[in-house]
Chain A
Amino acid sequence: MDQLLQLVLAGLATGSIYALAAIGFTLVWQTSQTINFAQGEFVMLPAILVLAAVKFLHLPLPAAVLLATGAFLLLFGFGFKKFLVDPMLRHGVLPLAIATMALSILMKEGAKDGFSAEAQQFPSLVPDGAVNLFGATLSLRDIAIFIVAVVAIVLLQLFVTRTRTGRMMQATAQNPDVAKILGIPTEQMILLTFLINAGLAVLASFLISPIYLAKFSNGEVIGTAAFIAAIVGGFNQVRGALLGGFIVGLVDNLAAAYVSSAYRAAVPLALLVLVILFKPEGLLGRKEERTV
């Protein structure tokens, strides 16, 4: 029981990080039909950038964090849309998806060759520690991660549904043509989703790197988890991605403890296949009508 509670909390903590990545993935997919195969690398890179800024520019940590965040938003929010998505999207969804695969290799190899092939310590926002709750020892860090991620997601959800800009963004995602007719600056709205995606990736990166350590190959695990979370939850829903993230995090952690640590990566994938077979629109998704 004691162990189970710990595992559930750890699962929810990593799950909320997966949810951040999955939400960004979903947002970008909604507004520009981009299946971003580099999503995992998006989460891997910001932490590496921070460490690189500390190591090579000898900046203090807060300055490095600010610099890395700014550089990442500029390069992989604005630049990603402007220089990769916009030119490729004209040729269709598939070439773009393939281009993001090439980008993922580029980012991974760039991090490896430009910084380090070794896993690096990343400073945690919260000190290591534990609290006792109902007889179980719970990690303070897991609790903090869970709270930070969930607060960020709730704020995002409020922004999307309650503010004027958020609703314009939603309108752009749902029907760009009509949105344009109504006078919504759709291009700016699409750019905004890419910036939000980059921002979520930065947050996820800073939260997960203290646990997994900052390493160039982290993107594979995180990216796969984010895809699964997005599809399991329902491909076009923020709520869905959140639920999907929690489920994947929980399943992942519980499978590692109770099924087999060698096959832990296969269990969420089995879940994905089951969802695709029996509820292809995802747990919270709506059925899409087929258009001709």
Chain B
Amino acid sequence: MTPPSPLSRLDLNLLVLLLGAAILWFVPAGMKSYGIYVISFWLVMSIAAMGLNLTLGYAGLKSLAQAAFLGIGAYTTALMTAKGGIAGPVWSWPLAFLASGALTFLAGILLGFPALRVKFHYLAFVTLAFATLMFLIFRNEQWLTGGVYGFPNIPRPTLFGVKLLNDLAFFRFLLVVTLALSVAMWWLLRSPWGRAFMALRENPLRAASLGVNLRSYTLLAFAIGAGYGGFAGALYAPMVEFIDPAPFAISASFVLLLTVVVGGQGYFLGPFLGAAFSYVLPEMLRVTGGYYLLVYAALVLALLLVSPQGLLGLVEKLRERRRVKAAQAMRDASKVMLEARP
């Protein structure tokens, strides 16, 4: 029999994270700017999905507003760092980044507090309402956001006096920030807070009887998830340098939710895998013409029918099956040996 691995599953996650980051540092060196853009986009959406994974996968709350949080982060950063913004361009990007996270965190608390007071599954509908409202504001308040014409000329951040104009330099900067946010999330999930979030999902009543304050922990999980959406937005805006309301619509929030589920909700690495499925795969499917969303939706449906726990759930299921099979083989073998003995 194989002894239990000395690395617990979460440590393995950290290892994969660090290794992946090290590899990604060098991967795009020879790539064209489009390739770098696709990988950058993948990282940004992974951050947003990571936040939603905390909300959905660990705390079990359905949120249909993650793209709206992404939008709040993106517009906040744009307004604070770009020339056309009302608060810009005096603010540096790190400040805008923190402000985006803080603002979405606060929005998460303000939104979650009343909804969770009533009934847990109503959060989904309240977030749906919020996401619609935010989209309308992004679209209609032209003086603030540029409306459908978009918000142009969002500057790339300057770091230690060096402006990250180069796509590769920006990608590496993005990679470092993604790694930092992922490690923070990894630490959070291992902390007693993370355990409490999981307890909420598994059995809220039991968690409550063990002294976990249901409402504040639920609220916290939701708000931190929203904050990660804001962080992702703060990275998205300088990445594309031009934002318009379309990527922050309701359907974008749906796709983010699908991303988390496809990757495997409640798995630490799920969001990265899911985001690759939802945002990198369609770029590859672009060769099929306008049909990529159709193909994407069909693939998601098929995957969910096979494995509702997503891609990582599928991996675990296969591994489990192999373990059962191995154990069975071992039992059969020992049975033969026992019977052979006189």
The reply to whether A266 and B132 contact each other, CB–CB distance below 8 Å, is yes
Q: A98-B261, A102-B301 are in contact. Are A272 and B114 (CB under 8 A)?
A: no
Interface stretch among B38-46, B117-125, B161-169, B334-342?
B117-125
Which residue of B has the minimal Cβ distance to A110? B294
Q: Does B258 lie within 8 Å of A265, measured CB to CB?
A: no
Over the window 96-111 of chain A, the binary record of Cβ atoms lying under 8 Å from chain B Cβ atoms (1 yes, 0 no) is 0111011111100110
Stretch at the interface among B90-98, B230-238, B249-257: B249-257
Alpha-carbon distance A94/B257, docked complex (angstroms): 11
Let me know if B126 is at the binding interface, CB within 8 A: yes
| Interface membership of B33, Cβ < 8 A | no
A95-B140 contact in complex given A105-B297, A106-B294, A106-B301, C-beta closer than 8 Å: no
A262 to B117 CA separation, bound complex (whole angstroms): 31
State how many angstroms separate the Cβ of A266 from the closest Cβ of chain B.
5
Contact string against A for B residues 96-126, beta-carbon threshold 8 Å, 1 for contact and 0 otherwise: 0000000000000000001101110010011
Which chain B residues lie closer than 8 Å to A103 at the CB level? 297, 301
User: Min CB distance, B119 to chain A, in Å?
Assistant: 6
Across the two chains, which residue of chain B brings its CB closest to A102? Answer: B300
Q: In the complex, what residues of A have CB within 8 A of residue B258's CB? A: 98, 101-102, 105
In the complex, the answer to whether A106 meets B132 with C-beta atoms within 8 Å is: no
Choice from B126, B132, B301, B304 contacting A276 with Cβ under 8 Å: B126
Q: Which residue of A lies closest to B305 (CB)?
A: A87
A97 and B128 form a contact (CB under 8 A): no
Interface 1/0 per residue, B225-267 and A, CB below 8 Å: 0000000000000000000000000110011011001000000
Q: Which residues of B contact A87 (CB under 8 A)?
A: 305
A94 in contact with B62 given A106-B294, A220-B250, A276-B125 (CB within 8 Å): yes
**Chain A's nearest CB lies how many Å from the CB of B62?**
7
Interchain CB contact under 8 A, A265 and B250:
no
Q: Of B115, B129, B257, B304, which one neighbours A270 at CB under 8 angstroms? A: B129
Chain A neighbourhood of B250, CB < 8 A:
220
A276 touches B118 (CB 8 A): yes
Partner of B298 from the list A98, A106, A273 (CB cut-off 8 Å) is: A106
Q: Which residues of A contact B293 (CB under 8 A)?
A: 105, 109
User: Nearest chain A CB to B277's CB is how many angstroms away?
Assistant: 12
Specify which of A102, A262, A276, A292 is in contact with B122 (CB 8 Å cutoff).
A276
Q: Say yes or no: is A91 at the interface (Cβ < 8 Å to chain B).
A: yes
Q: What's the least CB distance linking A102 to chain B, in Å?
A: 4
B window 187-244: CB within 8 A of A: 205
Check if B115 sits within 8 Å of A101, measured CB to CB.
no
* Contact count band on B: 35 or more
Known: A91-B308, A113-B291, A262-B140. A269 touches B301 (CB 8 A): no
Within A262-291, the residues touching B (CB, 8 Å) are 262-263, 265-266, 269-270, 272-273, 276-277, 280
- Interface flag for B290 (CB, 8 Å): yes
Q: What secondary structure prevails in chain B residues at the interface with A? A: helix
Report if A88 contacts B (CB, 8 A). Answer: yes
Tell me the bound Cα distance from A112 to B62 in angstroms: 28
Q: Which residues on B sit within 8 Å (CB–CB) of A277?
A: 114, 117-118
Residues in chain A near residue B304, CB distance under 8 A: 88, 95, 98-99, 102
Give the shortest distance, in Å, between A114 (CB) and chain B (any CB).
8
- Residues in B with CB closer than 8 Å to A201 are none
B121 → A minimal CB distance (Å): 9
B133 engages A266 (CB within 8 Å): yes
Contact partner of B132 (CB less than 8 A), chosen from A104, A105, A224, is A224
Task: Name A213-234 residues within 8 Å CB distance of B.
Answer: 220, 224, 227, 231
Contact of B129 among A37, A98, A272 (CB under 8 A): A272
Inter-chain CA distance A88–B140, complex, in Å, is: 39
Residues of B close to A98: CB separation below 8 A: 257-258, 261, 304
A183 at the interface (CB under 8 A from B): no
Q: Does A92 contact B (CB under 8 A)?
A: yes
For chain A residues 78-134, which have a beta carbon within 8 Å of chain B? Answer: 84, 87-88, 91-92, 94-95, 97-99, 101-106, 109-110, 112-113
Bound complex: CA of A85 vs CA of B188, how far in Å?
36
Measured between beta carbons, the chain B residues less than 8 angstroms from A231 are 125
Q: How far is the CB of A243 from chain B (nearest CB, A)?
A: 18
- B132 A113 Cβ-Cβ under 8 A: no
Interface residues as binary, A64-83 with B (CB distance below 8 Å gives 1, 0 otherwise)? 00000000000000000000
Given A105-B254, A113-B291, A265-B136 in contact, is the A273-B308 Cβ separation under 8 Å?
A: no
**Which chain A positions have C-beta within 8 A of B298?**
106
Pick the contact of A105: B114, B119, B126, B251 (CB < 8 A): B251
Q: Which residues of B contact A (CB under 8 A)?
A: 60, 62, 114-115, 117-119, 122, 125-126, 128-129, 132-133, 136, 139-140, 205, 250-251, 254-255, 257-258, 261, 290-291, 293-294, 296-298, 300-301, 304-305, 308-309
The 3 closest A-B pairs by CB, nearest first: A95-B308, A269-B129, A106-B297
Q: Using A102-B304, A277-B117 as known contacts, list a sample of 20 further A-B pairs with CB atoms less than 8 Å apart, ordered by residue number in A.
A: A84-B301, A88-B308, A94-B62, A98-B261, A98-B304, A99-B305, A102-B300, A102-B301, A105-B251, A105-B255, A109-B293, A112-B290, A113-B290, A227-B125, A272-B129, A273-B129, A276-B114, A276-B122, A280-B122, A292-B205
Between-chain CB contacts (< 8 Å), 6 pairs: A88-B304, A88-B305, A95-B304, A105-B296, A262-B139, A276-B126
